[in-house]
Amino acid sequence: MINDIEKVYYSEEVLKSIVERLGKQISEDYKGKNLLLVSILKGSVVFMADLMRAITVPCAIDFMCVSSYADKTQSSGVVKIVKDLDINLEGYDVLIVEDILDSGKTLSYIKKLLIGRNPNSIKICTLLDKPERRAVSDIWADYSGAEVPDEFVVGYGLDYSEIYRNLPYIGVLKREVYEK
Ligand code: IMP
Ligand code: MG
């Protein structure tokens, strides 16, 4: 796996400090609210596990699994719900937890769907943001860990063809890996 990585973007230590900063900010902003973290599987699984432990206010958690009819490196915006939420969103301040905001098509679809379920509020927390790639105008990160340029990154939950999610850091995949 390590041989397929061109360079490390965010080391374990840096990711830890990013998550601590986000957790602190979210804990301040959601004091006295009814926080529900909605993790978008599978990519956000590692981030979610760390972020929830960096949050010091009470929160509920739930998971949604979507597949975005994509080729291997680009999403189409046509989203299939593979596993829906268990919790009824009414009365909750929903915070969507996502691995990376790329074109924004996936989150645009999910956000609209969840707004229709009448939560108190809904916001987005993404570990990584690729603003250069945004293809929709109605999606932005309310909380963002770090920006990345237009390169394909893997690790810390992010995959290429379901592999590399277990790398503890975030790195850029060598082009030859996905162009072969
Ligand atoms: P969007 O709908 O284009 O914003 O796509 C978002 C999803 O595409 C993310 O949740 C990831 O699963 C995937 N994705 C986008 N960019 C990358 C990347 O650089 N590495 C791994 N997955 C990515
Ligand atoms: Mg993915």
**pLDDT on residue 4:** 94
Strand partners, 122: 94
Atom of ligand 1 nearest to the CA of 101: 4
Name the burial class of residue 1, with classes exposed (0-12), middle (13-18) and buried (19+) by CB atoms within 10 angstroms of its CB: exposed
**pLDDT on residue 178:** 82
* Ligand 1 contacts CB of residue 109 (under 6 A): no
Sheet holding 93-101, edge to edge: 80-83, 59-67, 35-41, 93-101, 121-129, 143-147
* Ligand 1 contacts CB of residue 42 (under 6 A): no
Q: What is the value of pTM for the model shown?
A: 0.95
**pLDDT on residue 77:** 72
The yes-or-no answer on residue 93 being catalytic is no
Dist. CA 102 → ligand 1 center (Å): 5
- Whose Cα sits closest to atom 15 in ligand 1? 102
pLDDT tens string 68-86: 766 666 677 778 899 999 9
**pLDDT on residue 160:** 94
Residues of the chain with pLDDT under 70: 69-74, 180
